[in-house]
Amino acid sequence: MLYAVIDIGSTTIRMAIYEILDNKLNLIHKRKYTVGLASYVKDNVMEQAGIDKACEILNSFKSFLTSFSIENVSAFTTAALRNAQNSKEAVAEIIARTGIDLHIISGDEEATYDFIAATHELDYHDGFIIDIGGASTELIRFANSKIIQKTSLPIGSLALHTKYATDFLPSEEEIAQMIKEVHAIIDTAPEFKDISHAEICGIGGTCKGARALYNEMYAQDDINETIPADKIPEMISHFTRGHKLTDKDITTLLKTVPDRLHTIIPGMVIANEIAKLIHATAITYKDAGMREGFLYTHVIEG
């Protein structure tokens, strides 16, 4: 069976097509558009231009799927529309204009799907899963392969960049403002404090980009999945606006995070503060996330 999943996120709109055989997922095709829907939210309202852009891309996906007679399709949106005051109206308009049934995934559901997908790939059973999106960050604490605590924090890489940065790369002062906001929001999740040490599994685009950037900067093999926590501040500082970048530095950025040039540093600021909060020694990236968790829950096991 072929099954398509469309994910409308704060930074990207993605479509992934899976072949499902013997209760296993095999990714056979994927497409994405970097849109930055979170930047279309003004005064907590999704602007018409953002709705129009989402409809344009979803209709292109629909045309592609129709060409190949792929009928099994699920679509969902997360913080990109969930946090907007006009979320219901925006989703209703998108459904009417595209014919694609679109669901708003709650922060709790998002965290659960992330957990289900990531634990299929992990070789340890206790720790934290983090997914730093454009407008929100999902945190899951688990033990014995079961969720203990989960929370969705209203901080994201694109949202921080939009609010504080005045250029592609933030300045030291702008990073300090980002850190201040991250601290203020993390303080609303006291259940994640007073932890002596925890493993961190990072999923999603921010952690994927940070892993690629680390591997290139520190001459690691492409298959390396681990970012030492003490290297994250070095990476942030290295690409702070005002720090003179060499041709090699610019090449590294363009090569490893071409779609996240403006959001990778704000995303790493969030990752660094979380790592410090729970005294993590490293972040291990896993290429699994909400789309896979959604399919495991509703198609394979549902």
Q: Give pLDDT tens digits for 99-140.
A: 999 999 988 888 888 888 888 877 778 899 999 999 899 888
Residue 246, classified by CB atoms within 10 Å of its CB into exposed (0-12), middle (13-18) or buried (19+), is exposed
**What would the mean pLDDT of 240-248 be, rounded to a whole number?**
93
Alpha helices in 68-204 (DSSP H): 79-82, 87-98, 107-119, 157-164, 172-186
CATH architecture for segment(s) 121-285 = 2-Layer Sandwich (3.30)
SS (H, E, C) 148-168: EEEEEECCCHHHHHHHHCCCC
Q: Which residues contact 93 (CB under 8 A, 6 or more apart)?
A: 51, 55
Residue intervals in the chain for CATH 3.30.420.150: 121-285
Q: Give pLDDT tens digits for 206-241.
A: 999 999 999 999 999 999 999 999 999 999 999 999
pLDDT of amino acid 215: 98
Name the pairing type of β-strands 45-46 and 73-77.
Answer: unpaired
Report the C-alpha gap between 112 and 293 in whole angstroms: 8
Return mean pLDDT, the chain: 92
pLDDT of amino acid 78: 83
> Do 183 and 273 touch, CB atoms closer than 8 A?
yes
pLDDT of amino acid 122: 79
* Residue 151 pLDDT greater than 70, yes or no: yes
> Do 215 and 222 touch, CB atoms closer than 8 A?
yes
Q: Give pLDDT tens digits for 153-192.
A: 999 999 999 999 999 999 999 999 999 999 999 887 776 7
pLDDT of amino acid 302: 64
Tally Cβ neighbours within 10 Å of residue 85.
12
Paired strand residues for 147: 142
- Residue 290 — pLDDT band, cuts 50, 70, 90? confident
pLDDT of amino acid 120: 80
Q: What percent of the chain has pLDDT over 70?
A: 99
* Residue 287 pLDDT greater than 90, yes or no: no
Q: What is the pTM of this model?
A: 0.73
Block residue for tokens 């980002």:
178
For 2-105, which CATH superfamily applies? ATPase, nucleotide binding domain (3.30.420.40)
Range with the poorest average pLDDT among 50-54, 103-107, 118-122, 255-259: 118-122
Block residue for tokens 């629909």:
62
Q: Give pLDDT tens digits for 267-280.
A: 999 999 999 988 99
Token duo for residue 264:
């990778």
Across 150-186, b (16+ Cβ under 10 Å) vs e yields bbbbebbbbbbbbebbeeebbbeebbeebbebbeeeb
pLDDT of amino acid 124: 78
Tell me which amino acid residue 19 is.
Answer: E
Which one is predicted more confidently, 121 or 250? 250
> Do 2 and 23 touch, CB atoms closer than 8 A?
no
Residue intervals in the chain for CATH 3.30.420.40: 2-105
